[in-house]
Amino acid sequence: MHRWGMVIDLDRCSGCQACMAACHAENNIAIIGPEESAMGRTIHWIELLPFIEGEYPHIKARLLPRPCMHCEHPACIKVCPVGATYANEEGIVGIVYSRCIGCRYCTTACPYTVRSFNWYKPQWPKEMEGSLNRDVSIRGKGVVEKCSFCHHRLLKARERAKAEKRELLSEDYIPACVQACPSNAMYFGDLNDPFSTVSILSRERRAFKLLEDLGTEPKVIYLSEGM
């Protein structure tokens, strides 16, 4: 059984936001204008969080790409009153959009603020409507959405492997953000395989997880930046 995980090397990340752009195109994320954004209603499945390290004059502005952590012990799943959020056997945390009642208990429970609520009906410019990804369902007004590790790509890869009468390989499946990263800062693979790149990197001295003390056990592992 695979256990999908991601490693993000902050030393390699240039903060170019290609991952965000790729994610938006891949996952049919609504175009949010500057007005709604200023009011605090945005939707990003992966986001670059700005933070400041140190104090002036020894100060560094940093950016941290943050997808869903796909926690081993997610806070979001247990709070959902209708069971609209689930973790599949390979550890990917997903949402059944058609079950979500929009109570926003999960957005409140998630320590990583990865969950976005659809405050209004998502809209795209007319020219873009024809170019939406047919593999990803469109979320309506009033439901919560978040990063799925491009789960639809896993389904497709599995179908392909089945058609070719072989086992699914870790290389068959890669999320859009990892694929788009121009500086090779993102790695994706099977954490259950001790020799996979992500496994090896996750054991590095630079490896850390966000808010580890909450016991969520994220499957997104960061490699810290050199000073």
User: Contact residues for another protein (CB under 8 A)?
Assistant: 36, 39-42, 49, 75, 77-83, 99-105, 107-113, 116-121, 141-144, 211, 214-216
201 vs 187: CA distance, rounded Å: 9
Q: Which is nearer to another protein, 189 or 218 (CB)?
A: 218
The nearest distance, CB 220 to another protein, in angstroms, is 15
By DSSP bridging, strand 220-223 and strand 4-9 are: parallel
Structure tokens at 17: 């936001």
The nearest distance, CB 93 to another protein, in angstroms, is 14
Q: Which is nearer to another protein, 88 or 184 (CB)?
A: 88
The nearest distance, CB 130 to another protein, in angstroms, is 25
The nearest distance, CB 40 to another protein, in angstroms, is 3
Q: Which is nearer to another protein, 121 or 162 (CB)?
A: 121
Q: Which is nearer to another protein, 142 or 193 (CB)?
A: 142
119 vs 2: CA distance, rounded Å: 35
The dihedral built from the CA positions of residue 68, 73, 77 and 79, taken in this order, carries a sign that is: negative
Q: Where on the phi/psi map is residue 123: left (φ > 0), alpha (ψ -120 to 50), or beta?
A: beta
Q: How many CB atoms sit inside 10 A of residue 173's CB?
A: 24
Comparing CA positions, the residue from 29, 5, 2 lying closest to residue 197 is 5
Q: Which is nearer to another protein, 196 or 216 (CB)?
A: 216
The nearest distance, CB 30 to another protein, in angstroms, is 12
